[in-house]
Amino acid sequence: MRGRWGAVAADRLVDTEISLMDEWEMVKTFTGHRIARVTTRTRFNLRWTEMRLYRLAPGDEDSYVLGIVGRSRVYHAGDDEGGCNQGVEVRPSDLDPDVEMVPCQKCHPVDVSADGADGADDAVGAASTTWIKMEIPAYSLHICRDPQALMTALETDHTGRLLDQPSWPARQLMQGARRLDPDLNRFLSGVERL
Ligand SMILES: [Zn+2]
């Protein structure tokens, strides 16, 4: 059966050059194709997680690349204004105008949105000279030799501690990926006697 999803899946399975960022925002490139992606983003949440899983091209000694990004739309007051000491210092004008950034509810930074300054010139002036602290994306990259290594990466938090159970996006990622990756499906279909 050649359904709509089948056609999409076939397109995705073509290996291409892929670039992802690591913990230092350094770009890593490899050849492969995406087999799953999951985001916890909704219309309402201020912070969310994105996970992307790639299958490396045949011939590579590793099999999977897992990219995780923690994203945020929150910005804080600068350190001199009694902010939460979270994020990196930027000028309000450095914020990406395409992303609707949200002021922190605890430290109440200067409102940098176009309509937040009530159109008053002095408020706009203050916003352009004040430092704010913007929460930036937190990238991580895991190169996994086999399905077991991938599972371990998904069961480990960013400090290296083993989680009691994998997060729900991690589970969704694996369940999506097994449908496009026979090796992963075989691994997850293994029957283990308890
Ligand atoms: Zn804050």
**pLDDT at residue 6 is higher than 60:** no
Strands (E) across the chain are located at 16-21, 27-39, 47-56, 64-72, 74-77, 88-90, 102-103, 132-134, 138-144
Q: What is the pLDDT of residues 35-54, one digit of tens each?
A: 999 999 998 899 999 999 99
Asked, for residue 193, whether it belongs to a domain, the answer is no
How many CB atoms are located within 10 Å of the residue 133 CB? 23
Q: Give me ligand 1 centre to Cα 135, in Å.
A: 10
Asked, for residue 191, whether it belongs to a domain, the answer is no
> So what's the pLDDT on residue 60?
85
> So what's the pLDDT on residue 96?
80
Q: Give me ligand 1 centre to Cα 134, in Å.
A: 10
- Tell me how many degrees the CA angle 52-47-73 measures, rounded to the nearest 5: 110
Q: What is the pLDDT of residues 106-151, one digit of tens each?
A: 999 988 765 544 444 555 555 557 889 999 999 999 999 999 999 9
Binned at pLDDT 50, 70 and 90, residue 98 comes out as: confident
Q: Give me ligand 1 centre to Cα 112, in Å.
A: 14
* pLDDT, averaged across the chain: 86
Q: Give me ligand 1 centre to Cα 175, in Å.
A: 36
**Are 35 and 113 members of one domain?**
no
Q: How would you classify residue 25: left for phi > 0, otherwise alpha for psi between -120 and 50, otherwise beta? A: left
Question: Average pLDDT in the 180-191 region?
Answer: 93
**Are 57 and 80 members of one domain?**
no
Question: Average pLDDT in the 16-21 region?
Answer: 96
Asked, for residue 190, whether it belongs to a domain, the answer is no
Asked, for residue 46, whether it belongs to a domain, the answer is yes
Which among 134, 149, 175 is the end of a domain? Answer: 134
**Are 101 and 145 members of one domain?**
no
Q: How would you classify residue 68: left for phi > 0, otherwise alpha for psi between -120 and 50, otherwise beta? A: beta
Range of the domain at 146: 4-71+137-185
**Are 10 and 58 members of one domain?**
yes
**Are 114 and 141 members of one domain?**
no
User: How much is the pTM?
Assistant: 0.82
Please tell me the total count of domains within the chain: 2
Residue 21: half-sphere exposure toward Cβ, Cα within 13 Å: 10
